[in-house]
Every structure is written in C-alpha cells, then in structure tokens.
Structure 1
Amino acid sequence: MESLIVAFGILALVIFFLGIGVWVFAGLLLVSTVGLVLFIDMPFHRIGTILAPLVIRSSTAWELSAIPMFIWMGEIILRTDVSTRLFKGLSPLTYYLPGRMLHTNILGSAVFAAICGSSAATTATVGKITIPELKKRGYSNALSYGSLAGAGSLGLLIPPSIMMIVYGVLAEVSISRLFAAGMIPGLMIAGIYSVYVIIYSLFRPNVAPADSHAPGFRDMITGVCNLAPIGILIGVVLGAIYSGLATPSETAAIGVAVTLIYAACTWQLSWNTFISSLTAAVHTSCMISAIMIAAAFMSTAMGFMHVPHNIARVIDGLELSPYQLIFILVLFYLLLGMFLEGISMMVMSLPITLPLILAAGFDPIWFGIFLILMAELAQITPPVGFNLFILQDLTKVSITRIIAACVPFFLLMCFGVALITVFPEIVLWLPDYLFQSGGGLP
C-alpha cells in the first residue's frame, strides 16, 4: 500500500507541474529528484552521478536516429503539394461510397500517417484541405470534424510512427516488429470509421450531398495518378523495412532522400523550404530527446524507490485476470489522457506499467500497440486533446461542438481496443509472419 501511495503521489506531482505550465522534461526531472530525496534520502551529489550516464545512454542509441529523419521527412512533405494531391486523388475514388467525400478524411489521414508519423501534423495538414471543401459542398459538420479528429490520430499508429520508435527504445523491443504490428490495427480502425460513416449516411443521406457533376472514368484515372507519388514514397519506406533491406534508421534516411528528390523534381524545393523544414525537425527532435532523457531518469528513480516491483507485488496479490488488469490500465490511461499528450503519457507510465504487463505474461509488442491506441484516445480527450485544439483552430467553432462531434469516434476507437484485447492476433499475426517469431497474450 505504501508503494501505491508513493506512485500516486509522484503521478499527482507530475500532473501538478505540467498543469502549471512546467515543460514536460523539466517536470519529470524535478519530480524524480524530489522523490529520491524525500523517499530514500539520496544526497544530491549521488543524483548527479546517476543522471550523467543516463543522458549519454538515452540520447545516443542508434535506433533514435530514425526520429529526426522521419520528422524531417514529414516537415518536407508538409511544405509540398502532397496533401492537395491526396485530396484530389481520393475525391473521385470515394464519390460513389455512401458518405462520399467524408471518406477522404479517413483514407487521407491513413495514407498521410504512413508518410508522416505525427498525429498533429496529419490532422492539421489533411484538415486544411478537406474541412473547407466539405463545408463548401454542404457536408455534415459533425461528421466532418469527428472523422478528421479520429482518423488524424492514426498518425501515431500507422508506421512509420515516432511513438513506436520511442516505445521500442524504452521497452527494448524490435522497432521493425512494432511497425509491422501497427499496420493491421491502423487499417482496422480506419475501416471501422469508414463503416460507421457508410451506415450513418445510408440512414441520413443529407449528411453527404451529391455534387452537380459526378466524376467519370477519366477523373478516377487522374485521381490514381495524383496518388502515385504518395504510393511510391510509402512503398519505398515500408518496403525497405519489411523486406529486411534496411533498418528503420536507414529507411528514415532513404525516406528523406526520396522526399527531397520529389520536392526538387516538382520544383517545390527552395533554400527556404530546406532550412525551415530542417529547423522544425531539429526543434521537435530535441524536445523528444529531452523527454526521453527525463523518462529514463524517472524510470531509474522508480527503480531505486522499488515502486514498480512493489506495485507489481500488490497487484499480483489481487489475483487479477489478464482482462481485469487491462481494464484497470484502460481506466488509468484514459485518466492520464485527460492531462497529458501521447509521448509524455507513455514515458512517465512505462516504468510502472511495463513490469506489470510482463509479469502478467503479455507480449510487449502487443502492449506497445495497446499503449499507442490509448495515446490516440488521448488526442481526442478533453481538456488537453491536441487534435481537438487543432480542429478548433481550423474551424473557429467552439470546443464543445468539436468534442460532441468526436464522441462517436472516441467510442469506435474504444471498440477497436476491445477487439485487439480479445483477439491479439490482430496485432501479432503480421510481425510473427514477417519475422518468424512467436508471442502473444496469455
């Protein structure tokens, strides 16, 4: 019980510091230091000797080199016509589905996620194109906002994902296997969203009115041509990983090279574009690196205080079934998601939750996808859901309207979490098939 009090006290301190505006990495470092001094009377000079090697080890792992490269690739893409091509390519292809162009939000976000790796960038980029077009054509605002918020979060799940790389390094599991594990769940969530839009549109056709001019065969061919550059980029990035020709870090460099070549060949690469994209990538990468250093320090501090071991022992004494443990973790992460964004939520909780998961016999690859899905839910959970704020900025409507529009898609993603829990093969089949290794839920 004492360890639970310590753990909740540390969690409360983290939420307090973040709530008053302290930077994430500073808050984690401060809480870890306070915990070591208060609970085990560790002298300050000893804390320094612990932190110094952690800084080197947590910031120099080879796998981390993929993060700035994938971020840079996404920043270059944001400054090209890829999002416009995506909308022009998908619009004629989705016109004859019930829901029509609402599916461009879902499919566009899924495709863009496969070349970006960021939920916020996916939502903002796709939304800048689709929201004005859907509004101009008289589509339902609620479905337009909700489908974009829900599908935009797929940037965390569909590879290449920055959050998967961070989890892979912290949990010491294969990043390539994580990428493969996220593919089917990501497509499944996108499919669930599309089925919902189709069913809703069949009962209420006025949410997706027809255009005066229906696209013909030539329009569809043009749409496929618009999607070709995106398809090539996705094929190069994912093909290099899954074929075994390159590691995720090497593939990220290949992705940057291909993106630069595309921007140059389409006359969209200027010196200003190059420098601004590189500067933005460095800024984001440094932020993630600082958070990971702080997370490693917090994990070590938790170990010195024996918090993970003692909590695992307490929960083991409760004799919970695997599904009861997962249910408790769902509630835990839904609570965290109300205050923290995805990476922060993951790095601060992993020192506690990962030992519990491993002790219960769960596959760490499966847990990584589960954790990312919970982070996706955090993207559309008030009061600090990033996608909610991005949509509010794009639409200029009240945050309450945005939240109401997101409720059905929040529940659909919860249904997706339930599916991968009951049927873990959804997550594990593809990495097991590609890499010929076993594992799974107990």
Structure 2
Amino acid sequence: MNEIFVITMLVVSIIGFLASGVWVGLTLAGAAWLGMEIFSARSAGDAMAISIWGAASSWTLTALPLFLWMGEILFRTRLSQDLFSGLAPWLNRIPGRLLHTNVIGCAIFAAVSGSSAATVATIGKMTIPELGRRGYPQDKVLGTLAGAGTLGLLIPPSIIVIVYGVAADVSISRLFIAGVLPGIMLAVLFMGYIAVWAIMNPTEVPASDENMPFMQKLKASGSLIPVVLLIGAVLGAIYTGFATATEAAAIGVIGALALSLLQGSLTWSSFTESLMGATRLYCMIALILAGAQFLTLSMGYIGLPRALAEWIGSLGLSQFGLILALMVFFIILGCLLDGISIVVLTMGVLLPTVQAAGIDLIWFGIFLVLVIEMAQITPPVGFNLFVLSGMTKKELPYLARVSLPMFLLMIAATLLLYFIPELATWLPSQMRMRGM
C-alpha cells in the first residue's frame, strides 16, 4: 500500500468535507469511514459506533466540561475584568501591554487543567472580548491565544505526559517536573514575540492607562486576589493529592459560583447562560474528539502510523537527523490525529529506535510534547483552531495564518531544547539525586 497515497486521500477528503460546510467532528468521522472502507477489511460501521462511544464515555474528559463551565461563570462576573484591572498597571510599561495576559493567563490555567482545549476556551472567554473592547488587533489576540493555549499540554499536570510515561515506562513525576522549565521558556518566547511586534508596530497597540505610583499599583492588584485564591484552591487540591483533576474542576466551579455570589453578579439568568454556554462549547469539542477517535482507530487498522514510524527507524540517521525527521513526522501526523492518539500509535515502534540513538527518554518525552503542541495549531486537525473557530466563527485558514508566528516559535523552542537538553533534564536529575 502506498502510504503517501493514503495520506493524500485522507487530507483531500478532510479538506473537501470542510469546504462543503460539514461540521468538523463529522468531517473527521467521514474521512475515517472512507479510509477504513477503502483500505481495511474491518467493517467501518460497528468500529465507528464503538470508537465514538468510547470517546464520549471517557472519564478522563469529565474535567473538561467543568473547567469550561468555570470559565463561563468567570466570563459573566467581574472576575475577568478584575484580571485586567489588576494586571494592567504592571504591564503598561511592557511593549505589547495587555496582550501578555493571553500568555500569562494560559500559563496559569495550564497548571490547573492540563488540557489545551480547556485552556484556550477558558482564557479565551475572558480575554477575547476584553482585549477587543480595549482595541487590540484581533489577529494578534487570536494568534497569541492559540499558541499560548498549547501550554496546557506541557505545564504539569498533562494527560499526554501521563500517557507517554506509561508507554515508555518512565517516572511520571520526573516527566512532570521536566516540563516546568521548557514551559516557562516557551511562555517567555511568546511574550518576547509580543514585545518585539509591539516595538515594531507601536501604532497597533492601544495607549497605556495612566501611570500609577507603586502603592496604587499594589492597591489595584487587590482585584486579583479572588482570581488568585480560586486558582490556588484548584492547584492546591491537585498538587496536595486532595483531589483529582476532575474533582478539582468541580472545586473550581463551586469557587467561581461562590465568588460570583459574593460579588452580586450571580443571577438565575447568568447561571443558566453560563451552564448552556459551557454545554454548547463542550458538545462542539466532544463531537470533534469523537470524530478524531474514529479517525485514530481507522488509521490504526490501515497501519499508516506504524508503517511511517518503521520507515523512519530504517533510515539509519544521526541523532540530530533522527530528531529533525521525527519533528517533521509528528507535525505531519498531527495534521491528522490528536496528541494522545499520536503517542499511543507510535511509541511502541519508535522507542527502540530512540533508545538505540542514545536519546534520554525523559528528554524525549518533553520533545514529544513540544512537537505535539505544534499540532494543536496546524490544520486540518488543530484542536486549538477548532475551539477558537467555534468561539469566534472565524475560518480555520485565517486562524492558522495568525497562529503561524507561534508555530515558528515552537520550532525554535524545540531546537533550543535539543542544543540545551538540561532544560528538560536538570530538574529531574535533582530529584534523582535526592532519591525522589
């Protein structure tokens, strides 16, 4: 079977369905059905039913609608405005000003949710309308949000890191700590890009608020206390082992409702609107995930990921050549599959090749997550783009174009990780020295 022909057929079918106005989730399921019917002896009908039911009933996804609901509640209270009023005095002197709230907000929430989709949806609910109201360019608002949302996969806790740790038989706690410095590095790169762009385009950035004395800045930051307390409660519940991610998401919802009640912004109307808004957004994401699950199953039966992985392993490349080849491989695969599916379908074949090349498995796990992050903003199956499209009604090509600078920064981050491997290995080595 010609793998290039199969890939071409799948990509063409996905683009064709999308161009004809078919919903994204149904597009993925339709492409999967075609692939399985043409290239596999497996019956597509019952396979589709089993995979979609498995995706829809996954306990892992239970946290997602709760985090989305928390974001909807925050969106309908003063908390989102308080976030900006508290950060604005400190960001006025930084080129790019409040655009940095996209990166800061996503970095903070990434440590809460571990989900790229939840991070983009929750932070986007707060920042998109507020930054638009203040006059920030829409392309920069959406582009930086799409890129910064990928931090949800790297900054612990991360579901993909857990899946990789199980597949590679590597300590998950060390993988978690290994993602901290690369996550900070990527956030700094994003903020550096915003600053450089703002310096080169000063007329695009709205005027700063009136400069405040230091004590007034501290007083203004008091509005951040409710947000910080809410995030601290959710984070603390996870990291102390008091609650799972799903239970912590429920704590976040209860906390958001309590803060909304204390602020006097909780009404029956705002409650029902937030609940229905979260339900609609989750249904959109769940349909996409169900279609992606069927596409993953279809490609597994076709044998495409395994065939491509075996081909890369047979090339006899140097360590750097292997890393570059794997980067291209995962970017291409990310155009068709979600991140967890990529890990599940390829690690069994690739890990012996990676170990034979002398690559540290902790480092490779962080490299893998970084490259999979790129797939979140690459069409036709970029989940961050899908979420933003559903929230803003913007077309995928437009969102992919405005996200391109962030994609290039991720490539730069991956190269930095290769040439400075201590970014991913130093903290885990300290844990090993202390017997943790």
What's the TM-score, normalizing by structure 1?
0.74
- What is the aligned-residue RMSD (CA, Å)? 4.6
Q: CA-to-partner distance for each residue in 1:176-217, whole Å, 9 max, x for gaps?
A: 888766554443223223345556777998887986842012
Q: Is the 8 A contact 2:84 2:98 kept in 1?
A: no
Q: Quick check: 72-81 or 354-363, which moved more?
A: 354-363
Which amino acid counterpart does residue 60 of structure 2 have in structure 1?
Answer: E
Q: CA-to-partner distance for each residue in 1:337-362, whole Å, 9 max, x for gaps?
A: 8x88xxx6547766655555445435
- Asked if 1:261 is matched to 2:262, the reply is no
Q: After TM superposition, list the pairs within 5 Å mapping 1:232-247 onto structure 2.
A: 232-247=229-244
- Asked if 1:125 is matched to 2:123, the reply is no
Q: Is the 8 A contact 1:120 1:390 kept in 2?
A: no
Q: CA-to-partner distance for each residue in 1:206-249, whole Å, 9 max, x for gaps?
A: 88798684201232122321111111122111222122222111
Looking at structure 2, the residues matched to 98 and 9 of structure 1 have their Cα atoms a distance apart, in angstroms, of: 45
Q: Is the 8 A contact 1:18 1:27 kept in 2?
A: yes
Q: CA-to-partner distance for each residue in 1:6-27, whole Å, 9 max, x for gaps?
A: 3443333233323332223322
| Residue equivalent to 1:87 | 84
Of 51, 54, 58 in structure 1, the residue corresponding to residue 55 of structure 2 is: 58
Which amino acid counterpart does residue 155 of structure 1 have in structure 2?
Answer: G
| Residue equivalent to 2:38 | 38
SS of residue matched to 1:320: coil
- Asked if 1:22 is matched to 2:25, the reply is no
Q: CA-to-partner distance for each residue in 1:133-156, whole Å, 9 max, x for gaps?
A: 366xxxxx6xx9537632553233
Of 310, 317, 331 in structure 2, the residue corresponding to residue 320 of structure 1 is: 317
Decide whether aligned partners of structure 1 residues 131 and 201 sit closer, same or farther in structure 2, where only a CA change above 3 A counts.
same
Unaligned runs of 5+ in 1: 136-140
Q: After TM superposition, list the pairs within 5 Å mapping 1:94-133 onto structure 2.
A: 94-97=91-94, 103-104=100-101, 106-108=103-105, 110-111=107-108, 117-123=118-124, 125-133=126-134
Q: Is the 8 A contact 1:164 1:175 kept in 2?
A: no
| Residue equivalent to 1:227 | 224
| Residue equivalent to 1:190 | 187
Unaligned runs of 5+ in 2: 355-360
Looking at structure 1, the residues matched to 387 and 36 of structure 2 have their Cα atoms a distance apart, in angstroms, of: 35
Q: Quick check: 179-188 or 9-18, which moved more?
A: 179-188
What's the TM-score, normalizing by structure 2?
0.75
- Asked if 1:149 is matched to 2:143, the reply is yes
Of 289, 305, 310 in structure 2, the residue corresponding to residue 308 of structure 1 is: 305
Q: Quick check: 96-105 or 150-159, which moved more?
A: 96-105
Aligned length: 418
- Asked if 1:10 is matched to 2:10, the reply is yes
Which amino acid counterpart does residue 374 of structure 1 have in structure 2?
Answer: M
Q: CA-to-partner distance for each residue in 1:29-66, whole Å, 9 max, x for gaps?
A: 3233322332234456xx42x34443443333322211
Decide whether aligned partners of structure 1 residues 133 and 233 sit closer, same or farther in structure 2, where only a CA change above 3 A counts.
same
| Residue equivalent to 2:283 | 286
Q: Quick check: 113-122 or 205-214, which moved more?
A: 205-214
Q: Quick check: 256-265 or 167-176, which moved more?
A: 167-176
SS of residue matched to 1:187: helix
Q: Is the 8 A contact 1:98 1:198 kept in 2?
A: yes
SS of residue matched to 1:92: helix
Looking at structure 1, the residues matched to 154 and 225 of structure 2 have their Cα atoms a distance apart, in angstroms, of: 19
- Asked if 1:276 is matched to 2:273, the reply is yes
Decide whether aligned partners of structure 1 residues 317 and 131 sit closer, same or farther in structure 2, where only a CA change above 3 A counts.
same
Of 64, 67, 72 in structure 2, the residue corresponding to residue 70 of structure 1 is: 67
Looking at structure 2, the residues matched to 237 and 88 of structure 1 have their Cα atoms a distance apart, in angstroms, of: 22
Decide whether aligned partners of structure 1 residues 104 and 309 sit closer, same or farther in structure 2, where only a CA change above 3 A counts.
closer
Which amino acid counterpart does residue 148 of structure 2 have in structure 1?
Answer: L
Using the TM superposition, give the Cα deviation of residue 255 of structure 1 relative to its aligned residue in structure 2, in angstroms: 1.2
